[in-house]
């Protein structure tokens, strides 16, 4: 994206400092990030709870697994077609169209609860099918392109400060990730439905608000993100040209993400369906509040995000001293270890709180991970390199949810989660042996 360079200064490492860095960015980046906050709030209020919603609508564990794989397909394919549309109509209008379609997607999710099964004779369209249809639209805004975000941060940050630059934007965005599950926890404190329906209403409001704000305020006269996108046919050439440090990172990352994809959509079901564990909380001046399992899951994910927010900036600073590889490797380890420790955890509130706090540490390595992806790329090629990287990873990870669903339904949940951790650990070991460092951090 062609614009005046803005150097991100980051002598401190607290979350407050990362917010200050965020607000020093140029207006178009600021507006896009505010829209990202609005949509992230909507996505996080809904996505991690949609597995429970699918079960409510009559879906099986296998369908939930297919749901995970369906999301992987969208995550792999959409960014490229989003780039093509951006080429044709410009970033501002592409963002508006994507935001509008996402709002409709949230609306379809809400409508699914009020649609009866449709009997077509040879088959019946169950209400949960509309959740799949809604996802096709709800994820449209995110299709604008991970690569553009990466390229912007690379351009605005000194090479040896990349991890800190990503920590600035990630801290702001993941504040939405912290607030979202807490909002859900309040709304579903007594019962999942109808509380979750109100969550979907709020998601629609934020999607509409984000779309309006970005359309009215976004100004980018020299926006080159769309024009730099060279189409789907460019992927093979970009893959052959991947910088050397990215090749072992991509292999390890794919193992870890495949493992996570097998079980991620089932995390909520472990709490709500297997353990059926809630939490009785004594609040001063309010009294005892009995949180239903779904609400307790919201609290757990909020704790997870709080730990992420508190650790991303210090971890980015640590990466400047130790290199990116150890920080990224630790994040991979947390990803891989969490499934097996969760599925065999005792049904104890405080143990689960500790486990989800541990899970939040996987995000501590995220800024370093992003820096390791885009750092070795040539200036001006960050978007293409990132797009190629994520396309390959996303394409390979596609069947992970289906595999997890088969093991969940036809073997045991314990089998699914154990297999996921084993696969993840293969990636951790591979990265420890073959992972490369970004020169600027050596």
Per-residue pLDDT of the chain (442 residues; tens, 9 = 90+): 333 443 444 444 455 555 545 444 555 556 666 777 888 899 989 999 999 999 999 999 999 999 999 999 988 877 666 655 655 666 667 778 888 999 999 999 999 999 999 999 889 999 999 999 999 999 887 765 454 455 555 555 666 666 666 666 666 677 888 899 999 999 998 889 999 999 999 999 999 998 888 777 766 554 544 444 455 556 666 666 677 778 899 999 999 999 999 999 999 999 999 999 999 888 777 777 889 999 999 999 999 999 988 998 888 888 888 888 999 999 999 999 999 999 999 999 999 999 999 999 998 888 888 778 766 655 444 455 666 777 788 899 999 999 999 999 999 999 999 999 999 999 999 999 999 886 655 5
Extract the tokens encoding 38. Answer: 């609005």
In 242-323, alpha helices (H): 246-263, 267-269, 293-322
Q: What distance in Å separates the CA atoms of residue 300 and residue 353, rounded to the nearest whole number?
A: 6
At 78 the three-state DSSP class reads helix
Residue-level pLDDT at 165: 60
Extract the tokens encoding 324. Answer: 């990116």
Closest CA to 429 of 252, 250, 244: 252
For the chain, give the number of residues.
442
Residue-level pLDDT at 156: 56
* Beta partners for residue 291, in sequence order: 279
Residue-level pLDDT at 267: 97
Q: At 386, phi and psi to the nearest 5?
A: -65, -45
Q: Report yes or no: 377 and 243 within 8 Å, Cβ to Cβ.
A: yes
Angle at 76 between CA 74 and CA 77, to 5 degrees: 65
Q: At 218, phi and psi to the nearest 5?
A: -70, 125
Q: What distance in Å separates the CA atoms of residue 59 and residue 215, rounded to the nearest whole number?
A: 37
In 113-244, alpha helices (H): 129-138, 146-156, 162-187, 192-217, 225-228, 235-240
Residue-level pLDDT at 285: 73
15-218+238-437 has CATH 1.20.1440.130 classification: no
Q: Report yes or no: 265 and 70 within 8 Å, Cβ to Cβ.
A: no
CA 9 vs. chain centroid, Å, equals 26
| Residue 141 to residues 41, 83, 105, 201, Cα–Cα distance (Å) | 13, 11, 11, 18
CA-CA-CA-CA torsion sign (415, 421, 426, 429): negative
Contacts of 339 (CB under 8 A, 6+ apart): 259, 260, 262, 263, 417, 418, 420, 421, 424
pTM: 0.84
* Cβ neighbours around 177 below 10 Å, total: 24
Q: Report yes or no: 182 and 302 within 8 Å, Cβ to Cβ.
A: yes
Residue 401 host element (H or E)? helix 400-410
Q: Is 197 exposed, middle or buried (0-12, 13-18, 19+ CB in 10 A)?
A: middle
């Amino acid at each position: 994206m062609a614009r005046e360079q803005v150097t991100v200064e980051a002598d401190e490492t607290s979350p407050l400092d990362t917010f200050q860095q965020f607000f020093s960015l140029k207006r178009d980046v600021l507006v896009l990030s505010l829209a990202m906050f609005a949509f992230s709030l909507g996505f996080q209020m809904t996505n991690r709870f949609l597995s429970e919603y699918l079960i409510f609508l009559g879906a099986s564990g296998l369908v939930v697994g297919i749901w995970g794989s369906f999301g992987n397909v969208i995550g792999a394919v959409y960014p490229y077609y989003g780039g093509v549309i951006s080429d044709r109509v410009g970033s501002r209008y592409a963002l508006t169209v994507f935001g509008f379609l996402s709002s409709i997607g949230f609306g379809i999710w809400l409508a699914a609860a009020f649609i009866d099964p449709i009997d077509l004779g040879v088959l019946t369209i169950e209400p949960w099918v509309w959740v799949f249809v809604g996802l096709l639209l709800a994820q449209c805004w995110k299709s604008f392109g991970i690569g553009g975000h990466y390229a912007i941060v690379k351009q605005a940050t000194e090479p040896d400060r990349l991890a800190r630059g990503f920590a600035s934007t990630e801290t702001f965005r993941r504040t939405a990730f912290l607030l979202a599950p807490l909002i859900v926890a309040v709304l579903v404190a007594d019962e999942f439905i109808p509380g979750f329906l109100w969550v979907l209403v709020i998601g629609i409001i934020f999607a509409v608000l984000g779309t309006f704000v970005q359309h009215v305020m976004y100004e980018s006269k020299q926006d080159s993100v769309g024009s730099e996108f060279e189409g789907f046919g460019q992927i093979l050439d970009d893959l052959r040209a991947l910088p050397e440090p990215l090749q072992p990172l991509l292999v390890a990352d794919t193992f870890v993400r495949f493992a996570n994809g097998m079980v991620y959509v089932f995390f909520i079901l472990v709490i709500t369906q297997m353990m059926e564990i809630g939490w009785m909380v004594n609040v001063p001046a309010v009294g005892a509040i009995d949180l239903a399992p779904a609400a307790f899951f919201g609290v757990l994910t909020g704790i997870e995000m709080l730990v992420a927010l508190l650790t991303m900036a210090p971890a980015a600073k640590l990466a400047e001293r130790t290199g990116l590889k150890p920080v990224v490797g630790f994040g991979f380890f947390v990803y891989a270890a969490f499934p097996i420790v969760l599925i065999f955890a005792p049904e104890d509130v405080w143990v689960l709180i500790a486990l989800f706090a541990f899970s939040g540490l996987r995000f501590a390595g995220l800024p370093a991970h992003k820096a390791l992806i885009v750092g070795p790329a040539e200036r001006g090629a960050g978007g293409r390199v990132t797009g190629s990287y994520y396309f390959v990873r996303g394409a390979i990870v596609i069947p992970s949810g289906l595999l997890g669903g088969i093991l969940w339904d036809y073997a045991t949940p314990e089998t699914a989660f154990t297999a996921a951790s084993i696969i993840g650990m293969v990636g951790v070991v591979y990265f420890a042996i073959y992972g490369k460092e970004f020169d600027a951090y050596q």
